[in-house]
Structure 1
Amino acid sequence: MKLTGREKTELFLEGIVTVILLLLLNLSIIILINQSIQTNPGLRDGIFIIKRSILIGPDHFHLWSWENIFITLMLVFDAAVVYWRLIRRYHQMQLRHIISELHYIANGHLDHRIGFKLKGNTQSVVESINALVDSVIKSMDEERAIENSKDELITNVSHDLRTPLTSILGYLGLIQDKQYHSQEDLLKYTEVAYLKAKQMKSLVDNLFEYTKVKQTGTPLSINRIDLNQMMEQLVASFELEAKKVGLTISAKDTDQPLYIEADAEKLGRVFNNLISNAIKYGKDGKHIYLDAQTGQPGEVIIHVSNDGSQIPQKSLDQIFERFYRVEASRNKDTGGSGLGLAIAQSIIDLHGGYISVSSDERLTTFSIHLPVKHGDRLTKKDQAPKTTN
C-alpha cells in the first residue's frame, strides 16, 4: 500500500510533535528529580550510598553518573513511544484506504478486489473482505441463475404443454363441430386427443417428480435391498416390452446376493427411466444388459447398457440437464419430456451417489455408483465413500 504525499506529511508531523512532547516531559522529570534531591539531604545521602554499593564489571567500577543512565533509559522509552505512535497512525491510514476501497466496491464495481499486501491482522481483514465480496457475488450469481432457471422451466413447460393441448383442443373442436365424416373418423379424433392427454399427464407427473426429488429435505424410505434380485425383477418387467421392438433384456448372473441400504421405490424409478430410454432410443440394437457389482470399498456399481445408436459426444455432457433431449430423438414418436434422466440423477444424488454415461459404437452405458450404507456419500473424483454425520 502506497501512502499519499499528504499522509507522509501527517506521519512526519506526528513524529515531530511526539518527540517535542517527550523531550519536554523528560526535561520536566529531570528538573523535578534534581529539585527533590537538592531539597532532601537524606535522599541525597541515600543515593550516594547506593552509588558506592553498586559495582560494575570485573574492575569494580562505581556507578557515579546515574543521570546519564536515566537519560539513556528515557531515550529508549521515547523511541519506543515514537515508534508506537507512528505505527498506530500508519495502521489508521491503512484502514482509511481499506474503507475507501470498500466504498469503491459498494458503488457498483463488484469485480474490484482490495489488492493490498499488508502484515498481521490487517491483512486478515483485507482477505476477509475480499472473501466476503466473493461470497456475495457468488450468492448473487446463484440467485440470478435460479431466477433464470425458473424462467426456463416455465418456458419449457409451457412449450411442451402447448403442443399436445393444441392438438387436444383441435380434435375436440372438430368433434364438437361435427367435422367428421364417419364413426371411424370420430374414433380416430378421440384416440389422438386421448393420447395427447396422456402425454400431458406424463409431463405433469414427471415435472412433479422432478421438483419433489430436487428438494434437499425429500424423505427416503430406506430398506435393505438385494440388487441382484432387483435386476431379475426388472428383466421380468420389461422383457415383453423389449421383445415388441426386437430387443432382448438380460441381467448378469451372480451367485452371491448384493445388498445395499436404499429407497427401493425411488431406485425403481431410476431403472425404469433408464431401461425405458434404452427401449425407446435403442431400437436399432439387439440387447439391453443389466449388471450390478461391487466397486471401491463401501460402493456398488450398476450398469444399464444397450447396443443401440451411439449418443453424440457433444450430447454426453448435457444429457442429464433438465429438458435436454438428444437432437435425434426430437420427434413426436420418441421425444420424451426431457426430465427422466434429470430425475434419475437427482434420486441418485439423494442416495449419496452419482451417475455417469459413456457411449461408443459398441455400447451406450449408464453407470450408477451408490454407497452400500445409507448416510455415506460417494465423490466422483476418487469414487470413495465419505461418511456424513
Structure 2
Amino acid sequence: MGEKIRLTAKEKSELLIEGVVTVILLLLLNFAIVVMINQMIASSPQWQEAIFTIKSTLAFGPEHSWHLWSWENLFIGMMGVADAIVVYWRLIRRYHQMQMRHVISELHYIADGHLDHRIHLAVNSDLQRVVDSINALVESTVESMNEERRIEASKDELITNVSHDIRTPLTSIIGYLGLIEDKQYHSEDDVQKYVHTAYLKSKQMKVLVEDLFEYTKARQTTTKMNAQRFDMAAMLDQLAASFELEAEKRHIEFIVDSDPKPLMMEADTDKLGRVFNNLIVNALKYGKGAQHIYLNSEKIGNEVVVHVSNDGAEIPNDSLSQLFDRFYRVEESRSQETGGSGLGLAIAQSFVTLHGGYIYAESSPKLTSFVIHLPLRIGEQLAHNGKQGLTTNTSAATPAGEAH
C-alpha cells in the first residue's frame, strides 16, 4: 500500500482557493438562472397557471396552506446537488494534479541518480498504473545495468585469466628459445631438450586458444544449431570405442547402457560430441583411482537423461557448484600437471544450454556423475530462435575431436 501524499501549506491553500472560487462562481450562476426564470414566469400566464395547479394538488394542512412543492424549492434542491458535484469534481481534479506533481518530483529524484528509490504513493487508479509502470521500468533498468556490470567484470576476469594462462607457457617458450639464441647450451642434447619443451608449451597455448574460441562461440546466442536425428545409444558406444586405448593405459573400463535401445532423438551431434568428449576427458584425467567410466542414457518423458560417471575420487561438496565456472580448478597443481585449460566444463554447459537442456554434477565416495537433461526434439526451439532448420540423419554421429 502506498504512502498517502502529504500536501504542503501552499497546496492546501490552492485547494481552499479553488473551492471558494468555485462556490462564488456557482452562486453567481445560480442567481442569474433564478432571475431569468422569474422573468419568464412573470411574463407568461401559462407558466403561472401550471405552477398554481401543481401547488394545489400538493397542498395540505389547515386550509391547504402548506405546499410541498414550489419551483423555487425544486430549483434550489437540484442546483444544490449540481453545485456540490461540481465543487467536488473541481477539488478532486486539482488534487489529482497535485498527485501528478508529486509523482513527477519523485521521478526527477530517481533520474538524478537515486536508482534504488521507488515511488510508493497512494494515488488514483489511473495514475497508479503509471507509477507501477515507472517502478517496473526502473527495476528493469537497474537490472540491465547490473547485468552489464557483471558482463564487464566477467570480461575483465576472462582477460586476466587468459593472460595469466598464456603468459606462463609463453615465458617458458621465450626462455628456452632464448637459451638457444644465446648459445647457452652444452650439447645438441640440450638443444633438443629446449626445443622439445618449447614445442610442448606451444601446444599447451594452442589448446587454451582453441578452448577459448570454442567457449566464446558457445556463449553466443546467435550460434547456429544443426539438429539431426540420431541414436544416442550408438553415439555413446562410439564414444567409448574412441577412448578405449586411452582408458586401457589408465586401466579403466567403459560400461555403456541405454534404455531404450536404440534411443532416437534430435540434437546438434557435433556440439553434443564435444560435450561428451569434455566429460570423458575429465573423467580420465581427474578420476583418480577410477576403474570404470559409465555412460548411461535413458528416455524419461520428453527428455533424454545421460549420466557420465566414474568410480574415482570424490569431488568435495563445496566445489560441485563451481565446477562449471570457467577456469575453475578443484586442484590447481593437478590441473597444471594435466595441462587443462579450465574451460572444458564451461563449454559443455554452454552447449547443453543451447539445446534447451541443463547439466549438473553430483559426487559421493562411490560415484561421481555429470547428469545431462536434453529435450527429445529441439526443432521447435530452433524455429523459434530463427536458427538453421533440421536435417534428418538416422545414423549415429561421429564424435568430435578430443577435448582438453
**What is the TM-score of this pair, normalised by structure 2?**
0.87
Asked if the contact 2:259/2:299 (under 8 Å) is kept, the reply is: no
Cα distance in 2 between the residues matched to 1:288 and 1:173: 44
In the TM superposition, residue 41 of structure 1 has moved relative to its aligned partner by 3.0
Structure 1 segment 192-271 matched on structure 2, within 5 A: 192-252=197-257, 254=259, 256-271=261-276
Residue 111 of structure 1 is matched in structure 2 by 116
**2:351 is the counterpart of 1:347:** yes
Q: CA deviation at 1:94?
A: 0.7
3-state DSSP of counterpart to 1:110 = coil
1:370 aligns with 2:374: yes
- The CA distance in 2 between the partners of 1:337 and 1:53, in whole Å, is 106
Is the CA contact 2:96–2:124 (under 8 Å) kept in the aligned structure 1?
A: no
Alignment counterpart, residue 143 of structure 2, candidates 138, 155, 178: 138
Determine the C-alpha separation between the residues in 2 that align with 1:170 and 1:388.
49
Q: Secondary structure at the match of 2:36?
A: helix
> Match of 1:123?
128
1:86-129 superposed Cα distances (whole Å, 9 cap, x missing partner): 11011111111111111111222111111213341122121111
Decide whether aligned partners of structure 1 residues 255 and 139 sit closer, same or farther in structure 2, where only a CA change above 3 A counts: closer
8 A contact 2:204–2:339 mirrored in 1: no
1:306 counterpart (288, 306, 310): 310
**Partner of residue 155, structure 1:** 160
Q: How far apart, in 2, do the equivalents of 1:4 and 1:330 lie?
A: 70
SS at match of 1:246: coil
Of the candidates 173, 182, 185, which is equivalent to residue 187 of structure 2? 182
CA shift for structure 1 position 248:
1.4
SS at match of 2:305: strand
CA contact (8 A) 1:281 1:329 kept: no
Judge conservation of contact 2:258–2:297 (CA < 8 Å) in 1: no
Counterparts in 2 of 1:158 and 1:96: CA distance versus 1, 3 Å: same
Deviations 1:145-173 (CA, angstroms, capped at 9, x unpaired): 11111111111111111111111111111
Separation in 1, partners of 2:41, 2:108: 59
Aligned to 2:94: 89
SS for the counterpart of 1:27 is helix
Q: Which residue of 1 aligns with 2:326?
A: 322
Cα contact 2:172–2:201 (8 A) shared by 1:
yes
Query: Secondary structure at the residue paired with 2:338?
Result: coil
For residues 64 and 121 of structure 1, what CA distance do their matches in structure 2 show? 43
Residue type at the aligned position of 1:17: V
CA RMSD of aligned residues (A): 2.3
> How far has the Cα of 1:253 moved from its partner?
5.5
Evaluate the alpha carbon distance shift between residue 253 and residue 266 of structure 1 in structure 2; reply closer, same or farther with a 3 A threshold.
closer
Alignment of 1:280-299 (within 5 A): 280-295=285-300, 297-299=301-303
Q: Secondary structure at the match of 1:252?
A: strand
Distance in 2 separating the partners of 1:330 and 1:81: 84
Q: Hey, what's the Cα distance between the residues in 2 that align with 1:248 and 1:201? A: 30
Deviation per residue, 1:331-364 (Å, 9 max, x gap): 4212411111111011001111000111111111
Alpha-carbon deviations, 1:286-331, whole Å to 9, x = none?
Answer: 1111000012x21010000011111111111111112211135554
Q: Which structure carries more relative contact order (alpha carbon 8 Å, separation 6+)?
A: 2
322 and 54 in structure 1: CA distance in 2 versus 1, 3 angstrom threshold: farther
Question: 1:216-267: CA deviations, max 9, x gaps?
Answer: 1111111111010001001100111111122112212656211110011110
- Which has the higher mean CA deviation after the structures are superposed, 246-255 or 281-290? 246-255
State the match for 2:396 in structure 1.
none
The residue aligned with 1:15 is 19
Cα distance, 1:119–1:327 mapped onto 2, change above 3 Å = farther
Runs of 5+ in structure 2 lacking a partner? 60-65, 387-404
Are 2:168 and 1:167 aligned?
A: no
Instruction: Report the CA distance between 1:42 and its aligned residue.
Output: 4.1
Q: Which residues of structure 1 form unaligned runs of 5+?
A: 56-60, 378-386
